[in-house]
Each structure stands twice: as structure tokens, then as C-alpha cells.
Structure 1
Amino acid sequence: MPSTTQPSSQQLLSRENTLFKKVVRFYEQKQYKKGLSAAREILKKCPNHGETLSMKGLILNSLGKKEEALESIRNGIKNNMTSHVVWHVYGLYQRSERKYDEAIKAYKKALQCEKDSLTILRDLSLLQIQMRDLEGYKETRHQLFNLKPGQRQSWIGFAMSYHLLGDYDMAQSVLEEFRKTQQDRPAPAPDKPYDNEHSEFLLYQNLVLREAEQYEDALRHIQIHEKDIYNKLVLSEIKYHLYIRLNTFDRAETILRDLIERNPENKKYYFMLEKCLNLTNSDEKSKLYENLMEKYPRADAPKQICLQFLTGEPFSKSIGSYLQKGFQKGVPSLFQSVKYLYATPEKVQIIDSLLNNYLNNLTKYGTFEISTDDEDIEPASTLLWLQYYLAQHYDYLNKIDKAFEFIDQAIRDTPTLVELYMFKAKIFKHAGDFQMAASLMDEAQSLDTADRFVNCKCTKYLLRANQITTAIEIAGKFTRENSSPGDYLREMQCMWFELETARAHRRLKKYGEALKKCHEIDRHFQEFIEDQFDFHSYCLRKMVLCAYVEMLNLEDHMKGHRFFRQAAQVAVEIYIRLYDHPLSDQDNDKDDNLANMSASEAKKLKNKLRKQQLREQQEKQKQIDAERKKKEFQRSRNKDDGEEEKVKEDEIVAEKLERCEKPLEEAMRFLQPLEDFAANFLDTHYLGFEVYYRRKKYLLMLRCLKRMKKLDTNNAKFHSCLMKFLKMMELEPVTDERLRTIIDDELKTFNVKQGDSIRKIEDLNEEFLKKNSNSLTHRAEAAKVMLLINPTNNLKAIEYLTTLDPNFTDQNLKVCTNIYENMQSDDYGPIEKSILEKYRNQCHNLWPQANIFQSTPPSLAHSSNNGETNGGNNEAISQDHN
């Protein structure tokens, strides 16, 4: 509405004023063409009317004409700076562009012109809670409360502003005053007997009391209003926690037993019952679970839990019974349900003995135990599931040959069971043969093409085998028709797919494509943060207050999620790589590979690379065509119904990402959230050190070292980083006396000083080696330090790297692959081909199936239908047993 205090030159005549009201109404009803026509009619007579110019710009913005809209809005402000409408419109424009700080400034300007505008105050409060300006949010909610004290949202928003600031007493005071106004609520209607909104309000009020640690008041509150709270499950759990806090264990036990009666498969309740009864020894727990298993004979949870603390003969009896029932029922997830027991060697031995006994008896007699009764004979499927379990059992124990033996036997007996092929693929993955693993998973997928889970697993295995094109085709079987699978998966924010694709591109040294996927994942998380904007007013209106507070807490730590953490680590590592080896230095890599091959091998590789390039071009053209059709359809739809276009994201171009001018600055974009939200992971601070080391930020390097030391003092990466820091201090001494004093004081905590002087790096490294002589990982990092000390003499370092011994505690495929890849990329300096070949042969003898240690050059070990090379697979090897 036009301001009543605006200059006379900006006041409209009656007809134009009516038209302006129509412009506002047309905008609110999304009738943009009519609104634009009405605005132009006003501007014919009043071409400098600021509010109309602003509204015209707002409509143009909704039609996607951003530049023209901004120009019109700015002209509106220039012509009438005293109008709250023009500033409010400018704030709406900035909000649509997600420039929330600028929008807040615009709203505050609007309030200077019209301090009691409810619409502006509401919009401002939404932006303030979005940006977590809690003090500003409190002030705005206070103003809204004073202006509209009769509205429920005014009370709730005012109370929540104090709650979020930690002023629980004030929040509780406001909520209690509001509750008193609700005592004369009308009786519930017959068609709606439950007042869920009041129930949610009472739960929120109790939440505030609990967070204020006023447990007695919270218990009293919940008892008084119990009849008005309709979520009985949450009510019982709240009462349990309050009784525990108040040490009223008998009442807490009663509630817990009722909860277990309600859901006997919820393990959390059993653990809570143990805590409530203060059970410490296994005998007491055993008696408890015996009673529970007797009371709930069909429940699986108590049977699983009791396996944790049983030992010896009781454990053997219980695990035997549990496994037998699983084999009889044919439970595919049986191994997953007892995998946690494999952390105890004694239990593994008992399980192994039982399994072999069952196998022998089932093969000979058809029963688990030796019996002459024909009624006890098990069906053939029991032996099948036992073989399936045995394959999982030996695979987990790294006895790959025995795992293959049992899974092959099971497939021979039942060649149509999908799970068998899937697990055989998993064994090949653990053995390092990703090509065969992908092939077998593809075969499993062909047996059941309607199973989305198998399709996803097949896609993931193909990506780990670097068969990206085939993986996209397989994933496309479950994506929307007439759209590119890649675009659809990005639109659906399918981050596991994008993360695996990024890793595959990195292994293929397509760093731009890998970074593109990492940036797409980063955008998803930014969208999660921005999507909460719509819920700020909705949750207050619908009174889902406890869930709203949980959402705010979740959003505050969103970038601590494992998908973002893993994508950020990939991105930072690539940017470090690009800084150390700019892409221009790698342009001739393919030519170098060709030079090392025979003529026939080179010809094969050229043909495959040419086919791959042709396929990639066709795929890109398909994506471009699909995107163009989609945009045309969307544009026509917008014209028809006046729907507001979404903010257009800048296109992510892979070539620009891999040829960025300042890789370390780009790395900081991903590193900063890691340091904020993933500080309990040592790799975060290792990557931070590597970035700051290259930027020569001494204090930041020291901070990373301190955090690494706090997490793991004997970590190999921590040792190499500390030695690099000391070497840098030796080569480039700090001239700033104040900075030098801080560093010297901090170094005392690292035990690297003897008196007032720092010990020699050689001595520190030798001491580290002696302490960790049986660890291959520690020896590899110590070798890097040797090269740091003397880059010209790498013979001793190479000896430490290439020496393999079964007594090493961590001599496994992942560690050896990592060392081999680092040797190939000259991380340990130039190494003779004969030494590299000798190490490869040693590893090949230990892991004959691993692709990376095959005699065929890695560049030729690829899928015949893809032509995509099989680069280093250490990332895929490092994946867990999923």
C-alpha cells in the first residue's frame, strides 16, 4: 500500500491508486501479465512513481527478467526513498536472490519508514532466524507481540526467541501466560476429538523446562497435562527420562517395561532397562534377558543383545540356537545381525567351530546334530543358507579362498538366487578385482531387474570399477523417462551416486569432472540450508514446535554429514594435487603412457580412447538436448500459469574447475566447513595442515598439529606433518619475535625439544621408527620424512617401503595399494622400474586377484564395453564391508 507520508509528487490520483491496489493483488495471485499491464498503465501518467516502479520490478523478477527487474526496483527507490513499499520490495528481490544480509538491511530501512508494518516485521523475523541473528529475532518478535498480542503465533514466536537464546525462565514465563489464555478452549468437535496443536504446545513447554534442567517442574507439568497430550509414546519416554534424572528408578522401570511390551524389537529400551536396574555383571544381565526371552519368545532383539555378554558354554548354546533358526528361516541378513561379535576372538572361534560342525552334519545326516530321527532332517535350503553364511564368515576373516569355495558351491546348487551373486561380487571387491565384481553384480541385477536395491548396488560397483557410462545406463533404468539419468539423479540429490562418480573420475585423473560432482554435493547442502526458510512460518502456524527446534539444530550442523565430509575431502585432496602438479604439467600423460607400450597395445588404447571420447560427446549432446527441451517446457508452463521461476544456478564447468588459478583458495571453501563440523576426524586436520603448509600459515599449521595430537598422538600422518613443520622452521625461520615465542611455547607440548633447542629431525624419525617397527603405515610415513631430510638419498626410504613381512600388523591390500600408488606418482621421488616391478610382484603374490597388481598395465585393464581405464582403486578398496 502507498505510504500516507510520501511527497505530493508521489501521491496517485484516485483511479491510479485503485490500479495500484490491483497491481498488488495481481502479484499476490501470481497473475503477472495482468499486474504488469496495470503497472504500465499507471506509469504512462506517472512515469516516476517509485512504488509502481518497484512493483513492476517485483513482477518482472517473478517472470525471470532479473536485470530489468533490478533496474526498475532501483529506479523506484531513487524516486521515493521515504516509502516503505520500495524498500520492502527491494528486500523481497534480495531474498529471492538468496542475499539474506542485504534483504535484512532493506527491511530495516522499510521499518524506518513504517515502523509498525506487520508484513515487514514478519518477513524480517523469518530472515533473522534463517541467518541465526537471534538477538535481532528476539527484538522483532517482541515488536510483533506488542502489535498483535491476541495472535497465537505472536506468543509462540516471542517465547521461542528467548528459548533459542537460552533464556529458559523468560521463555517459560511467556508460554505459561499463553497457556492460561487457552484454558477456556472450546470442546473438541465429534469429527476431531483430538486437539493436536495444544498437545504439541504442551510438549514444547515441557521441552523448555527440561532444557532448563527444571526436572521436578517438568514432571509435575507432564502429570498435570497428561490427558491433553496425545502422543503417548513420546509422553512415556519423557516420563522415563525425568524419573531417571530424579533417581526414581522403580517408576522408570515400570514405564520401560510398558514400552518394551509396546515394541519388543526396540533395542534402545533394553539398554535403558539395564541402566535403570543398574545391572553390571553378566549373570544379572543373563537372568534379565532369560525372563525377557521367555516373555517375548518371538522377539529377536533380546536374543541378539544377550550374545554380547555371554561367554563359554552359555554363549555357544545361545549363538548356536540363534544361527540355526536363521539358517532354517533363510535370513539373508543373519551375518550382519551378529557381525559385532567378531570383535572378540574367543567368540569367533566358537562360531567357527559350530559352523563347521553344522556343515559336516548337514552334509552327512541332513541335521544340525547327529540324529537318527528322520523328522529332524532339514530342508535343502538350510544347507544353502549355511554356505552363504560361511562365505560371509570367511570373507570377514580375510580367508578369501575359503569364502570363494563356499559361495561357488552355493551357486552351483542354486544358480538363480540373487544374493549369492551379489555376495560373490563383494568378495571380489574385497580381493581388489573390481572389474569382476562389477560383472558379477551386473549378472545379479539381470536376475531381478525390478529390484531397486540391486540396481543401486550394481551402479555403485560399476563406478568403483570406473565404468561410469555403463553405471549411468544401469541407474537410468529407475529414473524418469525422457530425461537424462545424470540430470535426474542430480535433481533428486542422489549424493551417494555423485560421490562415487567423483571418486571414479579422480581415479581416471579427470579432476575437473570429479570437482564438478563435489561442487554439486556442496550445492545440495546449501539447498538444504535454504529450504528451511519455508518452514519458519509453517512450523509456528501448525504448532510442530519440538520438531522445529530439532530441525534448527540439525541445520546448524548440516555440513557435518558424512556425504559432505567425504565430498569435501575428495575436493581438498584434488585441489592440493592441482597446486602441486598444475594441469599443464599433466597434458602429456597419455602420450607418456603410449610411449611405454608396445605398438599393438598403443593401437588398442588409441582406439578405445577414441570410442570413449565419441561416447562422451554423444552423451553430452543428449544431455544438452534434454535440458533444452526441459527449459522450453518450463518456460511455456510459466507463461501459461504465471508460475515464479526458481533462482537459476550458475553452471558448473569442469574445465574451469580443474584449471583454477588459485587451487588453495578453492580448497578453503571445502576445508572451512570440515574444520567447523568435522573436527573430530583426524583427516580433517591432516588436510588442513597440508593446505596451510603450502600457504605457509605457521599458526594455523600449529593448530592442526595440536588437534591431530589430541585425537591420536601416535598417528603416522601426525608424525610426518610434525616433521614437515620442524623442517620448514629450520629452512625458513620465523623472523617475527612474538610469533616465534608462541611457536616455541607450543612446541614444548609435542616433546620435540631438548632444553631450549629442538631435537634433530633424524633422531625423532629414528625414534618413531623403532617404536612402530611392525607397522607398514608408520614405515611409509617415516620414509617420507627420510626424503624430506635428504631428497637425494632415497635408497633407505625405498627399502622401508618395499619390505613386506607377515608380522606387520597392517599389511593389507588397502595399505599396500596406497604405497604402490604413491610410488607410481613419485611421492617418494624417482624409483627405478625394476624396484617398482619387484614390489608389484610381491603384492601380486599376496593378492593375486587385485587389479592394480596385475601384470597387464592398468591403462589396459578396463571394461571392453566402456573403454574407461582402471586407474588407482585405493578409494574403492578403502570402502567398508557394505
Structure 2
Amino acid sequence: MPPPTTQTQPSVQQLASRENSLFKKVVRFYEQKQYRKGLAAAREILKKSPNHGETLAMRGLILNSMGKKEEALESIRSGIRNNMVSHIVWHVYGLYQRSERKYDEAIKAYKKALQCEKDSLTILRDLSLLQIQMRDLEGYKETRHQLFNLKPGQRQSWIGFAMSYHLLKDYDMAQSVLEEFRKTQLDRPAPTPDKLYDNEHSEFLLYQNLVLREAGQYDEALRHIQVHEKDIFNKLAIAEIKSDLYVRLNSHDRAEITLRDLIERNPENKKYYYMLEKCSNLTNTDEKSKLYENLIEKYPKADAPKQICLQFLIGEPFTKSMGSYLQKGFQKGVPSLFQSMKYLYSSTEKVQIIDKLLNTYLSNLTKYGTFDVSSDTDEVEPASTNLWLQYYLAQHYDYLNQPDKAFEFIDQAIRDTPTLVELYMFKAKIFKHVGAVQMAASLMDEAQSLDTADRFVNCKCTKYFLRANQISTALETAGKFTRENSSPGDYLREMQCMWFELETARAYRRLKKYGEALKKCHEIDRHFQEFVEDQFDFHSYCLRKMVLCAYVDMLNLEDHMKGHRFFRQAAQIAVEIYIRLYDHPLSEHDDNKDENLANMSASEVKKLKSKQRKQQLREQQEKQKQIDADRKKKEFQRNRNKEDAEEEKVKEDEFVSEKLERSEKPLEEAMRFLQPLEDFSSNFLETHYLGFEVYYRRKKYLLMLRCLKRMKKLDSNNAKFHSCLMKFLKSMENEPITDDRLRTIIDDELKSFDIKQGDSVKKIEDLNAEFLKKNINSLTHRAEAAKVMLLSNPTNNCKAIEFLTTLDPNFTDQNLKTCSSIYESLQSGDYGTIENSVIEKYRNECHKLWPQADLFQTNPTPPSYTSCDSHTNGSGNSGAPSPNQN
């Protein structure tokens, strides 16, 4: 918004009549985005008054819109120096800082502008937007109060003033302002044929009710919704609010009536059923069963009541209900049937019943063509019923970790129906679960070829290629649904497709392309920054359009945006990589990047390095071509719109992978991701584990102790918590703390960790032995205990490695994921220098347990690598096995 131009502005500089009219034209040209005309008019003024501050400021504002940042800032600063008492120059400076997303500086500039012109509505509105953006709620309240005093007749003044108190949780004051405003709306015009509904007033009443409910005034909220029900047109919202209030006020009879109406409206909403249970005061399973029998009879097509029934039924009633539900699912051919039943697999008893039912159905369908041979009906089920039963059985046994049976049923289903996409997709999933990611990707590609128009299958295929580290093939696959004549990588980044970027980051990390992985993590971080910044335009829009409840929800969502799993996972990857780069800087290993070089002959090494140099040269050439093409496109756009149109703004700085992986201060870069994790994902133990690892390397003892306390609170028997605690004690042994005050604080806090014997701390070896004694059958705990063994005695690691690489069927968590993690840690040197024969022996033992896993193959095919950003026409991995092999 341009700064206001008033004749009463305090200024030490006055323009002649002609130049004053030109200045008004400068402002108008800026508003209309006719920047070149605006610059020409500014030049005319500056010829006569070269030091006119306001013109210099407006010239800078126009230059900023044209992308000339440095020249714009210099012009604006020159304007301020020449006229420091003008509110226009300070307002312009605030607009510039706002465009640079330096909101704190913009707020300071607006406050300086208000000192020059305290009653400027434009500046006050702009200031209020920045204050709510930065969540300066006290400042926002004061600014909205000023706006309210200046414009008490405007609806936005009332609403903004009330909302400022609401956000500060001063509900009484917010409600009194809203009620006073409502009284001014009593003489609203009657409905007309053109406007039958006053939606804005309806939204206002819903917001007023929201304030009452958040204040805990449930009686008042109920009376309010009953009195104004005729003026609220969102009848679903009214019913849901009423049912919630009735429950809170223990008026269960009324709540039950309202909830039954809601269930009639949407019988698939499980929340309504759970609330109905609560209102009905059901005390035992029989009463619940009776309620749901009536509901199932009333809504025979609804799945929600049938699924809820299966949660609490046991024994014969469960068998009967489960059988009926499964039979209908197989008859209809529901692909998602297993997903809807997966929650039942937490009960061993129910799993046994399901397994028995499935095998009975399979036997009866094979022999007699029906589910139940004892039934009177002679109707034979169609062949598709047996197909979906086999599909379910494959999912059932895969979930129970019996891949051989799962393969048996899915192969039979494919032989019977070789054109069904879901069968190939699930067979790929089984291969993924047994560790054969290359085979899984090949099968998913075959599934995608059966239905090339299905975007979901295409996305799954892309994800599987990324998990197989076939990045170029994944990008080519994703490109089938991206915009034509554009790079798939650029398009997906522009569309903020974060699942793709996250999987790509993981693939690059597995390939030890740490710079590329960090680049994807930083891009995800930038997306979340954009989410936060995108709310700016909605602050004024929502007050103007009166979508107030949605606006409050948006503010709450934005406050916790970085708690989303996409950001959490990307941040964890970034912190782990930065820790690794701190421990093993790339400069020390530049000449030995490929982990297979040690096993190659001199000629093979030479060929490999030559191939890598050619690949790097091709990537650089392709990048340069893309840069040249972008430059030509910009020049063409500028020439075409030479006269009036807005200049194309400069793109944000792109992340350079080489700079990211060679950061001079990797731990400081890690803190950029760690801080949001601690703020928004503090309920995840992994957050505090990573925090400890960073603070351990920075020697921040109190912060390390804080992470330990939080880990202990989340899971005191966690293996990572144990290893971190031992590292903390060892660091205090090696470097005793000389600060008496700090030492006292740490000693007091350590009392809660149960590691002392008398007045002294137990030895690390003794604590580790006690830990192992309690968790001797856990492979995860043994892996962390081995690290502690090496920590206490790094010179003799034979015992620790032997202890770590022991496998036993009695281990509770001896699975593919755990053993893969240990094997990769052995290879990457997390347990020190280990002989190749020891690693090879461990690999052979794991290969016997998981013969199909790619990681444990004797000579795994090295994955292909092509940079996403330089990709033009990617090629698939020719080393992928045939999809017809098991």
C-alpha cells in the first residue's frame, strides 16, 4: 500500500505547484505498477529539487518493485537523511523492510512514521498487520485501539479491537466489545431477493459464540446460540456446537437427540458415535452392542458403526460381526478393506480369529464356491470374491511378518488376474518390507505401466524409485504429470511437493551426496517459511470478509506450523548430516569419496574417476544451459513489457550443495533446524537426542543436561538416552568443570538420574552392565551399550564388536530395520576401525535371515545417480531384476 499524501503532512520541504502535482502522479504510477513512468516523473521533480526526501523515497520504492534492491535502499536512505520529519519517508522505509521480510525493522519504521503523523490510518493499519504477523499481541491491541478511536463507525475497527483482546485471552473484554457491536446491527436491512442471507452477520455470531466457549461460559454460549439460531445459516455448525455444549453441561438427553440428528446427516462420522456413547451412559459391552445393533440396522450402508463395534466385541460376537464385515468387503471388492481393519491387529486374540476366518473362507470358496457350506443358500460367489480374499490374505500375512505366505497368495492372485494394478502394487510393497527395494521399484513401475493415467500410482512409483536410489528415473516418472516444457524438479519445488523432496533427501543421504540432501532439507524449510509469510495477506482479508472463526484457526495453525511431520523429518535429516560433517569434514576424504575404491584395482579406480569427472562436466553444462535459457526468457519478458509492466522480481537465492556440505560452522547450521524441533516437536525423543549430540559437541553442559532430563521423561529405558547419559558422564570425567556454581547445579540435577552410589557417581562400566542386564534381549539396547563399551575403553573394541554382531532368535527386536542400521553403522565407522572380515561375517549372517534384502547381497548393484536439478531426460536402472521373480 503506498504512503498517504496529505496537505497537512509535517515536512521541512515544500514543492512548487507543478512538482507537487508530479509527485501525486508518482504515487499514482506506483499504485498502477507503471514503474517507468513513475521513475520519469520522479526525475522531473528531482531536477528542480534534487534533495526532496519524499520523492527520493518514492523513487526507491519504485526501484524496489523493479528488483533493484541496492539502488532502492540507497535512494530511500537518502530520502530519510533529507527529510527525517516526514511520515512518508519513514512509511516508505517500512514498506521496503516489509518487502525484505524484515518485519521487526518495518515495525520500527512505522512507529517513527507515527511520531510524525500520529493519526494516519494507513500507517496504523499497516502497523497492525505487522504486529499480528509477528504475534506482538500487546502492540496489536494498542494499535487496534487507536484505529477504533479514529474510525468507530467501521465494522473492521470493532472486530479488530475485539479480536486483539480475544487473542490475549481477555475474553470478558472481547465479549463486551462484540456485544456492543451486535447491538448496532439490530436495524440491519431486511432480506431481499438478491440477498436472502446475511452470511457476514452469521459468521460474526459464530465468532461471538466461539469467544464465549473459549471463556468457559457454556451456559451463556448455549443461550446465545439458541437466541440467534435463526440468523446463523451454517446449520451443521449449530448442531455440532449444541451437542458439544449439552455434553459439557451434562444435559445428556438433549445431546443425544442432537447427535442422532447429526448421525442421520452423516452416518460415517465416528466422532458423533463416540459422543453418543458418552451421552448414553453405557457401562458394559452388552449395552454398547445393543446401541450399535440398532444403529447398524438403521444405517445398513454405513461402515463406521460396524467398525466401532469390532473394537469392543470379543469372542463369538466378534467372530460373527467380523465375518459379516469381511464377507461384504470381499463381495464388493474393496481394496482398502485391510487398511480399515488394521487397528484390530493390536489384539493377539482377534488376529487369531481373523486368521481362522480367512483360511476357512479360502477353503470353502475353493471347494464349494461359498463362504459358509452350512448355509441354506446355493448361490455361488463370483471369481472376483476369491481374488479379493487372496489380496487380503497377502496383506494379512505381510503384516504378520510372514512374507513367504504373503508372496504365495499375491502370486496366485496375479496369475488369476494379471491386469489388476493393486496386486502389483502390493507385491512391490512386500518386496520393500523384505528389503528388496530395487525389485520393489521394478514391480511398482510395472503397476504404473498398467494405468498410466492414475496420478496416485505414478506418485507411488516415483517414491519407490527414490527409495531404490534411482533418482533420475524417479524424476522422469514424476515428470509424466508435471507441466510441459519445464523441468520436473523445478516444477515440483514450485508446487512445494515436500514428500518428493523428503524422499529425495533420504536417497541422497544414502548415496552420501550430503550437499544435495541438505539442499532438499533447506528447500523444505523455505516452504514452511513461505507458509508463515503467506498468512500476511489474510490478516486484512479475513476481517474484511468476516471469516473470523477460520481466521482464528489459521492463526493457531501458523503458530505450530513447524510441528508438521514433513518439517520434523527434514530437520532431523539435516541435523544428522551436519553432525556427521562436523565429525568427518569432507575435505579430509575428497580423494576417497567412493566407499568401494578400496576393493578396486588401480585401472578400475582410474575408470571410475574418469566417469565421475565426465558426469560432473555434463551436469555443469546442463546447469549452465538452464541458466542461459532463464536469462534469455527474462530479457524477452523485459523487452516485451518495456513501457509500463512490472519488472520480473529477482528469484530467491538458490542453495548450492557444494557450499552446504562444506559449511565452516556445521553445528551453527544444525541449530537452525534444531531450534524449531525443540520448540514444536518436543514430545519426540529423537528431538532431544539430536539436541544432545549437537550440544555435546559444543560443550554446552546445561543444555546437554536439559536434553537428558527431557529424554528421561519421555522414556527412561530408551537405548539412546542411556548412551547419551554415559557420554555426558564421560565428558565430565575427561574435562572436569572448574566453575563451582555450574558444578553444583549439575550435581543436584544428576541426583534424579539414579546413577549415584552414596555421594559419588557410579562407574560408567557398572552403569552399562546394569543397563545390559535389564535389556539383554534387545538388539537396539545392545547396539548402544556397545558404543558405551568403546567410549569407556576405545583401545580394545574386539569385545564390543563381537557383542554387537551377535544374533539370536530370542532377541525381541531382531528385525531387518535394526540389523540394517547396525550394518550401516559398522560400515560408516560409528564403532571405530573394524576389520572387513568382521563386517563381512555379520553381513553373511544377516543375509541368511533376510536373503532378499539388497543391503546384504554379496555384490549389490551400485545405484545410479543423476542430480535432480540438472536432469533433462533421465534413464532407468538397467540392473533392476525381472518383475516376475520372487
TM-score scaled to structure 2, two decimals? 0.95
Answering whether residue 819 of structure 2 is matched by residue 841 of structure 1, we say no
Q: Does 1:411 align with 2:407?
A: no
Residues of 1 paired with 2:594 and 2:460: CA distance? 35
Residues 1:511 and 2:517 are matched in the alignment: no
Query: Match for 1:334: what amino acid?
Result: L
**Worse-matched range after superposition: 51-60 or 509-518:** 51-60
In structure 2, C-alpha distance between the alignment counterparts of 1:497 and 1:741, rounded to whole Å? 49
Deviation at 1:750, TM superposition (A): 0.2
Distance 1:173 1:497 in 2: 49
Is the Cα contact below 8 Å between 1:411 and 1:420 reproduced in 2? Answer: yes
Q: Which residue of 1 aligns with 2:870?
A: none
Percent identical: 85
Query: Is the alpha carbon distance of 1:358 and 1:639 closer, same or farther for their aligned partners in structure 2, counting shifts above 3 Å?
Result: farther
Tell me which of 366, 369, 372 is aligned to 1:366: 369
SS in 1 for 2:37: helix
Aligned to 2:266: 263
Match of 2:120 in 1: 117
CA, structure 1 residues 4+537, in 2 after alignment: closer, same or farther (shift >3 Å)? same
| 2:753 maps to amino acid | F
How far the C-alpha of 1:586 sits from its partner, in A, is 2.1
Aligned residue type for 1:50: G
The Cα offsets for residues 651-706 of structure 1, whole Å up to 9 and x where unpaired, read as 21110000000000000000000000000000000000000000000000000000
Q: Which residue of 1 aligns with 2:544?
A: 541
Assess if the C-alpha contact under 8 Å between 1:83 and 1:110 holds in 2.
Answer: yes
Structure 1 equivalent of residue 84 of structure 2: 81
The change in CA–CA distance for 1:631 and 1:498 in structure 2 (over 3 A counts) is farther
Question: What do residues 499-526 of structure 1 show as CA deviations (whole Å, max 9, x unaligned)?
Answer: 0001100100000000000000000000
CA distance in 2: counterparts of 1:480 and 1:584, whole angstroms: 39
Distance, in Å, in 2 between the alignment partners of 1:188 and 1:448 is 52
Structure 1, unmatched stretches of 5+, are: 871-882
The residue aligned with 2:147 is: 144
Q: 2:302 aligns with which of 290, 299, 302?
A: 299
Does 2:228 match 1:225?
A: yes
- Unaligned 5+ segments in structure 2 are 867-873, 881-886
Which amino acid in 2 is paired with 1:670?
A: F
Q: Deviations over 1:556-595 (max 9, x none)?
A: 1100000000000000000000000000122133466233
What is the number of equivalent residue pairs in this alignment?
A: 870
Change (3 A) 1:438 1:607: farther
Cα deviation for residue 861 of structure 1 reads 9.1
**Equivalence map 1:216-615=2 (5 Å):** 216-370=219-373, 375-590=378-593, 593-597=596-600, 609=612, 613=616
Are the equivalent residues in 2 in contact too, given 1:2–1:83 (CA < 8 A)? Answer: no
What is the CA distance between 1:365 and its match in structure 2? 1.4
1:710 deviation in Å?
0.3
163, 168, 171: which one pairs with 2:166? 163
Question: Where does residue 749 of structure 1 map in the other structure?
Answer: 752
Against the structure 1 CA distance between its residues 91 and 386, is the aligned structure 2 distance closer, same or farther, given a 3 Å change threshold? same
Seen in structure 2, the aligned counterparts of structure 1 residues 83 and 422 have a Cα distance that, compared at 3 Å, is: same
Verify the 8 A CA contact 1:576 1:691 in the aligned structure 2.
yes
Tell me what 1:810 maps to: 813
Map of 2:28 onto structure 1? 25
In 2, are the aligned partners of 1:861 and 1:869 still within 8 Å (CA)? no
Could you tell me how far 1:337 is from its partner in structure 2?
0.5
What's the CA shift for 1:621? Answer: 4.7
Whether the 8 Å contact between 1:752 and 1:764 is mirrored in structure 2 is: yes
8 Å CA contact retained: 1:508, 1:869: no
Distance in 1 separating the partners of 2:761 and 2:708: 16
| Separation in structure 2 between the aligned mates of residue 603 and residue 366 of structure 1, nearest angstrom | 65
Taking the aligned partners of 1:861 and 1:617, their CA distance within structure 2 comes to 18
Shift of 1:183: 0.3
Range with bigger deviation, 829-838 or 94-103: 829-838
Structure 2 Cα separation of the partners of residues 192 and 828 of structure 1? 74
Matched, 1:681 2:684: yes
Report if the CA contact (8 A) 1:274-1:285 is conserved. yes
Note the 1:816-827 alignment, pairs <5 A.
Answer: 816-827=819-830
Q: Does 1:128 align with 2:136?
A: no
Deviation at 1:361, TM superposition (A): 1.2
1:826–1:868 distance in 2 versus 1, CA, 3 Å:
farther
- Tell me the SS of whatever aligns to 1:642: coil
My pick for the range that moved more, 677-686 or 792-801, is 792-801
Q: Give the distance between the partners of 1:177 and 1:143, measured in 2 at CA.
A: 18
Measure the CA separation in 2 of the matches of 1:331 and 1:169: 52
Match for residue 875 of structure 1?
none
Look up the match of 2:883. Answer: none
Distance across 2 between alignment mates of 1:603 and 1:386: 55
2:771 & 2:60 partners in 1: Cα distance? 68
Aligned amino acid, residue 82 of structure 2: N
Return closer, same or farther for 1:327/1:627 CA change in 2, 3 Å cut-off: farther
One-letter amino acid of the counterpart of residue 105, structure 1: K
The aligned residue for residue 874 of structure 1 is: none
Indicate conservation of the 8 Å contact 1:637/1:643, yes or no. no
What per-residue deviation string (whole Å, max 9, x for no partner) do you get for residues 15-63 of structure 1?
Answer: 2111111111121122222222211111111111111111111111111
Counterpart Cα distance in 1 of 2:462 and 2:36: 46
Structure 1 residues 835-860: Cα deviation after superposition (integer angstroms, max 9, x where no partner): 21111111001101101100015647
Q: Distance in 2 between matches of 1:474 and 1:779?
A: 42
Q: Deviations over 1:388-417 (max 9, x none)?
A: 111111110110111111111111111111
Matched letter for residue 231 of structure 2: D
One of 7, 13, 16 as aligned partner of 2:16:
13
Give the aligned residue type for 2:554: M
Distance 1:134 1:605, change over 3 A: same
Check the 8 A contact 1:539/1:545 in 2, yes or no: yes
Amino acid at match of 1:773: I
The aligned amino acid for 1:267 is K
Q: Output the CA distance in 2 between the equivalents of 1:632 and 1:473.
A: 29
> Residues 103-160 of structure 1, C-alpha deviation per residue, up to 9 Å, x if partnerless?
1111111111100000000000000100111111111000000000000000000000
C-alpha offsets along residues 190-225 of structure 1, whole Å, 9 cap, x if unaligned?
122110000000011111111111111111111110
Match for residue 208 of structure 1? 211
* Counterparts of 1:696 and 1:527, CA distance in 2: 34
- Report if the CA contact (8 A) 1:365-1:371 is conserved: no
Shift of 1:637: 6.5
Say which SS state the counterpart of residue 307 (structure 1) adopts: helix
AA of the residue aligned to 2:427:
K
Query: What letter matches 1:532 in structure 2?
Result: Q
- The 2-side partners of 1:626 and 1:306 are apart by 62
The answer to whether 1:198 aligns with 2:209 is: no
Q: In structure 2, what is the Cα distance between the partners aligned to 1:535 and 1:861?
A: 45
In structure 2, what is the Cα distance between the partners aligned to 1:666 and 1:572? 8
Partner Cα separation in structure 2 for residue 537 and residue 240 of structure 1: 32
Q: Is 1:174 aligned with 2:177? A: yes
Deviations 1:422-475 (A, max 9, x none): 111101100101101111111111111111001100000000000001111111
- Quote the Cα distance in structure 2 between the aligned partners of 1:206 and 1:591: 64
Asked if 2 retains the 8 angstrom alpha-carbon contact of 1:852 and 1:858, the reply is: no
Distance 1:637 1:692, change over 3 A: farther
Q: Tell whether the 8 Å contact from 1:422 to 1:441 is kept in structure 2 after alignment.
A: yes
**Judging changes above 3 Å, is the alpha-carbon distance between structure 1 residues 612 and 290 closer, same or farther for their aligned structure 2 residues?**
farther
| Alpha-carbon separation, structure 2, partners of 1:593 and 1:507 | 14
